[in-house]
């Protein structure tokens, strides 16, 4: 029986533990990466994780690493200006020189075909996704530091006889998720991601995000710009096997999915992804298999109908007929 496939949106790199959380239910994971992003990918040799790249003709030419470093220097002194200002500055600087870095000549053409319009923005999209990854990695480092600090004992432990003192930062809230982008930044990153990877979005895959803010942004965009187009939703829980190694995870997942509850769940999800409207309301609106104990994951899916007419919102056009999803850890219970 086929297992659902997830494409991570819009993260270009996912920590090993979060990948194993996704693989606790999905059969395989695909990650879209812009060109020139060379960090190692966990489990890619096993076939469980596949890396997707934009089309070859959207690959920036020239010294992209040098340009990325130059943009980092640029934003230190021009932090109130964005990518368009930087590209205009760079193009002007290259005029009259023998340019080793070519900012597309299409920018100066009076007429361009739709594909040419994509090519003229590819440099900006690549810069956005590379910088977004740096921001995410800084956020993950801060999240890990906070988790380590929260586990530390109070310096007063053992010195007072009263109730056990709390650690110095134990009452700080947990991070909401890996995304720490602003709303405007998130919109730009999503537009860049969908524009570069649109060829990979066909079929019955789930556009899965690890970030509640990203999921809510996509849902809000659809509700605002979808022109009244319908959507269906389901939410369910599955065991979290992310603490196991990959072989143990595969075996544990197989045991779960071939139990009665697991078979019913997978059939319901696959039917949902195919637009099956024959499922009972109870199954479609929320599956929580009985007998689950220990750490769990919550998965929320929203299947979006085909747009009835074209939308003015770029992201919504890409979402037409797709299924988006959010995966999160749940509080553990049981033994």
Measured in whole angstroms, how far is the alpha carbon of residue 235 from the centre of its chain?
18
pLDDT value for 100: 38
Looking only at the bridges linking them, the beta strands covering 28-32 and 231-239 are: unpaired
pLDDT value for 327: 97
Coil vs helix vs strand at 6: strand
What's the burial of 69, exposed, middle or buried (CB within 10 Å: 0-12/13-18/19+)?
exposed
Coil vs helix vs strand at 152: coil
**Which residue intervals of the chain are DSSP H helices?**
16-23, 64-77, 83-94, 114-150, 183-197, 212-225, 246-257, 260-273, 281-285, 314-319
What is the C-alpha to C-alpha distance for residues 117 and 111, in angstroms, rounded to an integer? 10
Strands of 231-239's sheet in order across: 49-52, 28-32, 5-8, 206-209, 323-333, 294-304, 231-239
What is the C-alpha to C-alpha distance for residues 19 and 43, in angstroms, rounded to an integer? 9
Residue 218: closest CA among 190, 237, 189: 190
pLDDT value for 321: 93
Give the start-to-end residue ranges of the domains of the chain: 5-57+177-333
Mean pLDDT by 10 residues, the chain (335 residues): 89 93 96 92 88 94 87 72 62 45 43 60 89 78 66 58 54 49 84 94 89 95 90 94 95 93 92 73 50 82 92 92 94 43
pLDDT value for 228: 84
Residue 242: closest CA among 83, 44, 1, 17: 17
Distances (CA, A) of 221 to 163, 180, 196, 203, 217: 49, 19, 19, 22, 6
What is the C-alpha to C-alpha distance for residues 268 and 257, in angstroms, rounded to an integer? 12
* Predicted TM-score (pTM) of this structure: 0.78
What is the C-alpha to C-alpha distance for residues 235 and 305, in angstroms, rounded to an integer? 18
Measured in whole angstroms, how far is the alpha carbon of residue 145 from the centre of its chain?
22
């Amino acid at each position: 029986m086929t297992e659902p496939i997830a494409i991570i949106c819009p993260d270009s790199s996912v920590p090993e533990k979060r990948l194993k959380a996704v693989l606790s239910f999905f059969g395989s994971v695909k990650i879209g990466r812009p060109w020139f992003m060379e960090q190692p990918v966990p489990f890619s040799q096993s076939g469980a994780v596949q890396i997707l790249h934009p089309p070859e003709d959207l690959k920036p030419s020239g010294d992209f690493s040098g340009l990325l470093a130059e943009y980092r220097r640029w934003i230190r002194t021009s932090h109130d200006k964005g990518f368009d200002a930087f590209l205009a500055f760079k193009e002007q600087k290259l005029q009259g020189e023998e340019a080793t870095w070519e900012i597309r000549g299409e920018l100066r053409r009076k007429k361009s075909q739709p594909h040419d319009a994509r090519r003229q923005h590819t440099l900006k999209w690549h810069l956005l996704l590379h910088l977004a990854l740096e921001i995410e990695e800084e956020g993950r480092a801060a999240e890990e530091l906070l988790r380590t600090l929260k586990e530390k004992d109070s310096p007063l432990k053992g010195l007072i006889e009263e109730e056990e003192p709390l650690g110095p930062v134990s009452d700080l809230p947990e991070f909401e998720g890996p995304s720490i982008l602003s709303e405007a930044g998130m919109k730009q990153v999503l537009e860049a991601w969908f524009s570069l990877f649109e060829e990979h979005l066909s079929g019955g895959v789930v556009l899965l995000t690890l970030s509640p803010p990203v999921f809510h942004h996509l849902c809000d965009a659809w509700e605002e710009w979808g022109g009244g187009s319908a959507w269906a939703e389901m939410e369910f829980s599955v065991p979290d096997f992310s603490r196991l190694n990959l072989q143990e995870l595969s075996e544990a997942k197989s045991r779960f999915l071939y139990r009665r509850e697991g078979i019913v769940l997978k059939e319901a999800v696959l039917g949902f992804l195919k637009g099956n409207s024959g499922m009972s309301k109870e199954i479609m609106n929320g599956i929580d298999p009985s007998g689950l104990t220990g750490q769990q994951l919550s998965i929320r899916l929203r299947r979006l109908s085909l747009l009835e007419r074209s939308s003015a919102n770029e992201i919504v056009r890409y979402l037409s007929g797709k299924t988006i999803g959010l995966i999160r850890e749940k509080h553990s219970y049981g033994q």
